[in-house]
Amino acid sequence: MKYFVVDAFAERIFEGNPAGVCVMEEWITDELMQKIAIENNLSETAFAVKEDEAYHLRWFTPGGEIDLCGHATVATAFVILNYYEQGIETVRFTSKSGELIVNKKVDLYELDFPTVFSKKLAVTKEMVEVLGLTPKEAYLNRDLVLVLETEDDVRAVKPDFEKLSKLEQGLGVSVTAAGTEFDFVSRAFFPKMKINEDPVTGSLHCSLVPIWSEKLGKKQLTARQVSNRGGTLYCKLEDSRVKIAGRAVLYSIGELYIDSNK
């Protein structure tokens, strides 16, 4: 079957976050999808099958299936709208996180995702030990969000990944601060999913946008994930939904030679 690699939230090739995409006529086994994700060794490989007027979408990391992934959703929408259903500008997905909609707006792909609200936590000794510095604030949703003093702190932080993988709170850990050129910046770490640092994490912004919207008193925000690759996200908070837009660039199209019965 065809296999695409797309750099999502990227202005150019080798920026943003690469995702593998397989658009299939029918489902293969969970075990085989997991093996493909491990073989691809990207942070996410997305699998989609058209069901009625929508595509059912699933995301696999090398460490297992997850319930929401923004950059792989952008990548899948890019593939469908440019290679499978040219001429339309909206694609609907069903997923473990409910209905997801991506609208193509000129060269931007806009996600319509559910807002993720966070619970504020006390900063603990373990959090300080993991980062090597003391966060200003801590929040918990699916992931642990740690607010730092400055953008420079976010760029410079070097987590202890062994300790981070054993941290009780959160599937992943993100660090964030107010930005200089952008409204806010962030980085994201997922050693529990066998990903030390994720280059650009769309789903993370479902929780970061409401946090920074409240702090900055604005609904529209421009964010930058300041990993080595880096990526820009154009965000808007609309009550129970977060709209996250970015560009996408095709890296490769290949073919997978697999036996779906194995």
The DSSP 8-state label assigned to residue 211 in this structure reads H
- List every span in the chain annotated with CATH 3.10.310.10: 2-108+246-255, 119-238
Residue 223 CA to residue 134 CA, distance in Å, equals: 23
Q: Which residues of the chain have pLDDT under 50?
A: none
Closest CA to 9 of 179, 236, 225: 225
Residue 257 CA to residue 53 CA, distance in Å, equals: 28
pLDDT of residue 115: 93
- On whether the CB atoms of residues 229 and 14 are closer than 8 A, the answer is yes
pLDDT of residue 193: 83
pLDDT of residue 261: 60
> Under CATH, which architecture does the 119-238 domain have?
Roll (3.10)
Tokens of 219: 């609904």
211 burial type by CB count under 10 A (0-12 exposed, 13-18 middle, 19+ buried): buried
Q: Catalytic site residues? A: 44
Other Cβ atoms less than 10 A from the Cβ of 122: the count is 7
pLDDT of residue 260: 64
pLDDT of residue 114: 87
Which residue bears the tokens 């640092």?
Answer: 197
CATH topology of domain 2-108+246-255: Diaminopimelate Epimerase; Chain A, domain 1 (3.10.310)
pLDDT of residue 17: 92
